[in-house]
Amino acid sequence: MVKYKNNGRVAEFKPAWWLNHAHLQTLYPALLRNTPSLPLVRERLITPDNDFIDIDYCGTGTQPLVILLHGLTGNSQSSYIKGLQSVLLQQGFRSAALNFRGCSGEYNRLARCYHSGETEDIHFLYQTLRLREPTTPIAVVGFSLGGNVLLKWLGEQGEQLSLFAAVAVSVPLVLSTCATKLDNGFSKLYRANLLRELKHYVSAKQQHLEHLGATEEANKIKQLGDLSTIDSFWQYDDRVVAPLHGFANVHDYYQRSSSRQFLKAITIPTLVIQAHDDPFMTADVLPHADELSATVQLEITQSGGHVGFVAGKNPLQPVYWIEQRILTFLFQSAAGRNIRIITPTNP
């Protein structure tokens, strides 16, 4: 159960004693978690602008479907995605993990890629699935950047969506605050690692586009100039994300893409889970109660790090509390809509 406090509910999450620190909570599941092999089926969808997105499906039949959205520099193979897909399969849900553009192991065809406010591709996937399965109960779960995309999309679409639930975890609700947080203390190590991956990706993608003969698209990246001196997200988002995706500058990007401003417009039953000790953000990003719609439930843990939330007494048997909390919310929301979930005996 949870207790109400200030602008959210304090969830009773107790971190594992051997991971009783924000950075350990953040790093352990990302680097050391073993995830099971899953029966995945990949589909490539051609987008309206003639690019593509790859979707990894898990589960068959007509059971409810959960769309999963990964975080920055992640993909459908990220441990938190595979872990949740495994649990969903065991509990009678199908899942569809979206790889944002360029994240599936193959570079996309255009200079544009994905960013914290890019909601066109999730909407395209949703529309595609709805056309195929008009009556299937669908939910969406997003982590970190994927959570920001999810909340922004829910707010943009309002009552136009037919979903039974949504869950967003460790969301950078105010992008400017989070970018600044990553400039300080130990968090700079996360920043350095993420920026190294992003800059390498941009450089390699330019070469890929040139090899494809997509000269115009390659030149869009070339015109960004030398990115080697970039050492903050403020700089990266100003020099790369903003010009490639139609924003005037980093301030325009952060203002228009931060999801906190969209919470009031959400009409889908939505759970937002944040940790007070998240090294990617500060408590300033948390919304006040009057910023939440009646369907949005904010839960705040005192610990848990960034997409961590690892519990358990035995280091050999970690308990991924976040997956249990997500499942509980999905089952509660499904029951509220009289949606039947059949748990398989041998998933």
Taking CB atoms within 8 Å and a gap of at least 24, the contacts of 210-216 are 212/109, 214/109, 214/110
User: What 3-state class would DSSP assign to 53?
Assistant: strand
**DSSP sequence for 94-138:** EEEEEE-TT-SSS--SSS----TT--HHHHHHHHHHHHH-TT--E
- Please report the pLDDT score of residue 10 as a whole number: 67
User: pLDDT tens digit string along 245-288?
Assistant: 999 999 999 999 999 999 999 999 999 999 999 999 999 999 99
Residue 330 in any domain: the answer is yes
Residue 347 lies in a domain: no
- The verdict on residue 41 lying in a domain is yes
* Separation between Cα atoms, residue 267 and residue 261, nearest integer Å: 14
144, 170, 257, 258: the active-site residue: 144
Report which of 10, 4, 1 is spatially closest to residue 300, judged by C-alpha positions: 10
Same-domain pairing of 169 and 183: no
pLDDT mean over 20-25: 97
Residues 198 and 61 in one domain: no
In the residue annotation, 144 being an active-site residue is answered as yes
- Mean per-residue pLDDT, 22-41: 96
Do residue 77 and residue 194 come from a single domain? Answer: no
Q: Phi/psi of residue 41, each to 5°? A: -125, 125
Among the three residues 257, 282, 317, which one is the final residue of a domain in this structure?
A: 257
Is residue 82 included in any domain, yes or no?
A: yes
Q: What is the pLDDT of residue 346?
A: 59
pLDDT category, 343, cuts 50, 70, 90? confident
Same domain assignment for residues 252 and 147 = no
Alpha-helix runs per DSSP H in 161-301: 175-181, 187-212, 215-222, 233-236, 242-244, 250-257
Percent of the chain with pLDDT over 70: 96
- Is the pLDDT assigned to residue 3 strictly greater than 50? no
Helix, strand or coil, per DSSP, at residue 165 = strand
Number of separate domains in the chain: 2
Q: Tell which of 204, 227, 257 closes a domain.
A: 257
pLDDT mean over 33-53? 96
Amino acid identity at 98: L
- Judge if 128 and 13 occupy the same domain: yes
Query: What value, to the nearest 5°, has the Cα angle with vertex 299 and ends 293 and 301?
Result: 155
Residue 165 in domain: yes
Q: Is residue 344 part of a domain?
A: no
Looking at the structure, tell me whether residues 200 and 316 fall in a common domain.
no
Catalytic residue among 54, 278, 303, 333: 278
Q: Does 128 lie in the same domain as 246?
A: no
Q: Please indicate, yes or no, if residue 294 is contained in any of the structural domains.
A: yes
Are 91 and 159 part of one and the same domain?
Answer: yes
- Are 314 and 212 found together in one domain? no
Q: Determine whether 176 is an active site residue.
A: no
pTM, two decimal places: 0.96
Would you list the DSSP string of 68-96?
EE--TT--TTSHHHHHHHHHHHHTT-EEE
pLDDT tens digits, 220-243: 999 999 999 999 999 999 999 999
The domain that holds 285 is classified in CATH as 3.40.50.1820
Give me the chain's average pLDDT, please: 95
pLDDT the model gives residue 46: 98
Active site residue 23: no
**Boundary of a domain, candidates 257, 279, 311:** 257
Q: Are 97 and 244 contained in the same domain?
A: no
What is the pLDDT confidence band of residue 12, given thresholds at 50, 70 and 90? confident
pLDDT digits (tens, 9 = 90+) for 97-143: 999 999 999 999 999 999 999 999 999 999 999 999 999 999 999 99
C-alpha–C-alpha distance, residues 314 and 296, integer Å? 34
**One domain, residues 129 and 186:** no
- Is residue 346 in a domain? no
Question: Is the same domain home to 180 and 164?
Answer: no
Catalytic residue among 70, 115, 208, 306: 306
CA 63 to chain centre: 23
Domain of 19 in residue numbering reads as: 2-173+267-336
Give 344's pLDDT tier (boundaries 50, 70, 90).
confident
